């Protein structure tokens, strides 16, 4: 397992791509965006319930290994995480239709190397359609780590590079969660390390009706707010209760607006 895309010091980065194996064209695009990173050593592992000959061929052509795992997405990511070796210092995961932007991994690694107490590096995210066309771009606000307690999605998981040590310290992803395991992980990581922001686009999230979170938006929002309620106490809990319904309505409205705009540009 592994693609050496540069010197990258004496450490490696682990990339986990969970997939159902139904989108092999976008999977290949995703893997190429990972192994095409320069200035860093990265190992890509594809985790799937069903490993077809075609899936294996796509992974192999991109220098990725394949792991069969029967669990849903959170468990699949944890299974990939368990494959980390001694030289893996950082990790991230991407959906099988999302993308890293060129040079993103090296920039994120540099940010974490300069901040050894940081648990996460994050940045801006492009939203693209299935063909990779840009729909819009979002950059997280300055106080995004704090605001995550009230507004989910301010830090896009696709842009996050995690310090492996800290993910292990908090116990990995919560396998009871199906949509917002990234939000839960970020909120738990705030207790063990700092967050550092890179002021550039690090990744692209593919917005389309088949996306797990988009297709189950009401359920994912309910799960997100249940996760947030675990992490708020005292005055913060009171503020969360006041903002819960307005935030939910705002997110639904923005999602509907994005869907209308994406249909116009399709």
Q: What's the per-residue H, E or C state across the chain?
A: CCEECCCCCCCEEEEEEEECCCCHHHHHHHHHHHHCCCCCEEEEEEEECCCCHHHHHHHHHCCCEEEECCCCHHHHHHHHHHCCCCCEEEEEECCCCCEECCCHHHHHHHHHHHCCCEEEEEEEEEEECCCCCEEEEECCCCCHHHHCCCCCCCCCHHHCEEEHHHHHHCCCCCCCCCCCHHHHHHHHHCCCCEEEEEEEEEEEEECCCCCHHHHCHHHHHHHHHHHHHHCCCCHHHHHHHHHHHHHHHHHHHHHHHHHHHHHHHC
Report the percent of the chain where pLDDT is more than 70: 90
Which residues lie below 8 Å from residue 27, measured CB to CB, with a gap of 6+? 17, 19, 21, 46, 55, 58, 59, 96, 97
- Checking if the pLDDT of 260 tops 70, the result is no
**What local confidence, expressed as pLDDT, does residue 5 receive?**
44
Which residues lie below 8 Å from residue 140, measured CB to CB, with a gap of 6+? 122, 123, 124, 154, 155, 156, 197
Rounded CA-CA distance 102/207 in Å is: 20
pLDDT band at 211 (very low <50, low <70, confident <90, very high): low
**What local confidence, expressed as pLDDT, does residue 253 receive?**
79
Rounded CA-CA distance 224/186 in Å is: 12
Which of 145, 236, 217 has its CA nearest to residue 186?
Answer: 145
1 vs 143, higher pLDDT: 143
- Checking if the pLDDT of 6 tops 80, the result is no
Summarize pLDDT for 8-36 with one digit per residue, the tens: 468 999 999 999 988 898 999 999 999 99
Q: What is the pTM of this model?
A: 0.90
**What local confidence, expressed as pLDDT, does residue 50 receive?**
87
- Checking if the pLDDT of 256 tops 80, the result is no
- Checking if the pLDDT of 77 tops 50, the result is yes
The residue-averaged pLDDT of 83-108 equals 97
**What local confidence, expressed as pLDDT, does residue 18 receive?**
97
Least confident of 77-81, 85-89, 217-221, 262-266: 262-266
Looking from the CA of 103 toward its CB, the CA atoms found within 13 Å total: 4
Q: Please provide the average confidence, as pLDDT, over all residues in the chain.
A: 90
- Checking if the pLDDT of 255 tops 90, the result is no
The CATH class of 3-265 is: alpha beta
- Checking if the pLDDT of 266 tops 70, the result is no
- Checking if the pLDDT of 237 tops 60, the result is yes
pLDDT band at 263 (very low <50, low <70, confident <90, very high): low
Contact (Cβ atoms closer than 8 angstroms) between residue 62 and residue 32: yes
Question: Terminal CA-to-CA distance of the chain, rounded, Å?
Answer: 38
pLDDT band at 130 (very low <50, low <70, confident <90, very high): confident
The residue-averaged pLDDT of 188-201 equals 97
């Amino acid at each position: 397992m592994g693609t050496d895309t540069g010197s990258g010091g004496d450490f490696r980065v682990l990339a986990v791509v969970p997939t159902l194996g139904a989108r092999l064209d976008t999977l290949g695009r995703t893997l190429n965006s990972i192994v095409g990173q320069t200035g860093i050593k990265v190992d890509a592992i594809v985790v799937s319930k069903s490993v077809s000959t075609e899936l294996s061929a796509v992974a192999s052509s991109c220098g990725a290994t394949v792991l069969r795992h029967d669990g849903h997405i959170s468990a699949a990511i944890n299974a990939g995480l368990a494959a980390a070796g001694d030289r893996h210092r950082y990790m991230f995961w991407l959906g099988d239709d999302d993308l890293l932007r060129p040079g993103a991994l090296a920039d994120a690694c540099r940010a974490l190397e300069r901040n050894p107490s940081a648990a996460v590096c994050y940045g801006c995210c492009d939203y693209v359609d299935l063909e990779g066309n840009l729909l819009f771009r979002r950059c997280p606000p300055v106080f995004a780590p704090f605001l995550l307690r009230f507004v989910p999605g301010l830090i896009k998981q696709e842009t996050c590079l995690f310090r492996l040590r800290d993910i292990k310290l908090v116990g990995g992803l919560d396998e009871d969660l199906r949509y917002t395991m990234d939000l839960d992980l970020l909120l738990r990581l705030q207790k063990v390390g700092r967050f550092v922001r890179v002021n550039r686009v690090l990744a692209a999230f593919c917005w389309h009706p088949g996306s797990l979170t988009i297709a189950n938006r009401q359920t994912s929002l309910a799960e997100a707010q249940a996760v947030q309620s675990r992490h708020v106490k005292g005055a913060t809990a009171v503020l969360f209760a006041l903002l819960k319904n307005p935030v939910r309505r705002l997110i639904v409205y923005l999602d509907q607006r994005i869907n209308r705009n994406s249909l116009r540009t399709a």
